[in-house]
Amino acid sequence: MLSYLFNTLVLDHQNDCEVRKFPTPMASRHLANETSAEMVQALMDSVEKHGATVHRYYKLKKRLLGLPSLEDYDRYAPIQGDMPLVSWQDASKLVRESYHALSPEAGKIIDQFFDANWIDAELRPGKRGGAFSSSAIPSVHPYILMSYTGKMRDVSTLAHELGHGLHQYLSRKNGYLQCDTPLTTAETASVFGEMLVFKKLLEKYQEPKVRLALLCGKLEDSFATVFRQVVLTRFEQKMHKARKEEGELSSERFNTLWAEANQPMFGDSVNLSENYGYWWSYIGHFIHVPFYCYAYSFGELLVFALVQKYEQEKESFVPKYMDLLSRGGSESPVDLLARMNIDLNDPGFWELGLKLLDRMVTEVEELATQLGK
């Protein structure tokens, strides 16, 4: 049944593209994201060239876990069992300090979220999972909806959603039609805020085992956001091409296409089980929002570049960054980033973020050696 639905929806998308004269199945998504096919191709090619970064990490993780081989279901196994818990008071203090260190204006806005009870983080029976920054209309401030359990990941989640809240708060002056951004820049403030707090956590926790676990968690999240989303996009490309050329596809054919798209990311560092071939079937983006996924890679690598510019430029970076957020969707991503001397049409731009990930893997390798692992 699921294969039948996939076949039907892929064919429907192809028919829609033909009627609307889109040259490729991805073209309508590029239009919505205000990007170009050339820009996205450069992004994906750059990510795939750095597959060795992922391979290095997973080979190290196999060693850290003491396993003879790393199976696909062990990829997210925790490195450190007992991680320190962070109280709500400590988390709010750390997050506030991180945003105040960036900008007094940003800090004051973040303070409002805490002081005016714009955050619902309490654990309650029957409360839905997940985390969101809800901004319905520009005339009403955003609300943060999440469940805080005291885990390190929750601290990052709080920082992430408050980044969305900051972005929504600043951009609402543009009005209902221009306050929202395309997918490619929607995660800019959230991931940037998350990185600010991540650096604070590394400063706070100096114990090598804890730092190792923090860095491994960040790398695994980034691999899922950068590399895996390119894999998902490659699978969609293969799926649409095969559907057009071969007609209706069987579930076994989908499995094969999925394996072909995934194998380069893992190389010989992870064993992909036979059942892994069915994982294409649980990703709702393929059904509801075709070719959505590359925007995650775009946004993450963009933020990694912005973080490095911030570290280089310090105070002079901040007004330009706050201006970027305040403009919302009133300009295209290319024009917005040009104000910060970033050329999104330069294929070499994506290397900045990818090299940051490579340096993080090196740091993890050094920590592991320090711990005798």
The domain spans of the chain are 1-81+205-373, 85-181
pLDDT of residue 4: 94
Note the pLDDT of residue 1. Answer: 80
Going by C-alpha positions, the residue among 188, 117, 123 that lies closest to residue 154 is 123
At 321 the pLDDT is 98
pLDDT tens figures, 134-165: 998 999 999 999 999 999 999 999 999 999 99
d(CA 80, CA 123): 25
Q: Which of 34, 25, 97, 71 is nearest to 272 (CA)?
A: 71
Instruction: Tell whether the model's pLDDT for residue 372 goes beyond 90.
Output: no
pLDDT at 80 over 90: no
CATH number given to 1-81+205-373: 1.10.1370.20
> What was the pLDDT predicted at 129?
85
pLDDT at residue 104, rounded to an integer: 97
Q: What is the mean pLDDT of residues 25-41?
A: 96
Predicted local distance difference test score (pLDDT) of residue 373: 82
Q: What is the pLDDT of residue 110?
A: 99
* Long-range contacts of residues 235-243, Cβ cutoff 8 Å, at least 24 apart: 235/261, 235/262, 235/280, 236/25, 236/286, 236/290, 236/291, 236/293, 237/25, 237/26, 239/6, 239/10, 239/280, 239/286, 240/10, 240/13, 240/14, 240/25, 243/7, 243/10, 243/11, 243/14
Helix H segments across 125-207? 152-171, 183-186, 188-204
Residue 2 has what pLDDT?
A: 86
Give the whole-angstrom CA distance, residue 296 versus residue 40: 12
Rounded CA-CA distance 223/215 in Å is: 12
pTM for this predicted structure: 0.94
pLDDT value at position 60? 98
- Compare 255 and 136 and report the one with higher pLDDT: 255
pLDDT band for position 128 (cuts 50, 70, 90): confident
For position 209, what pLDDT does the model report? 92
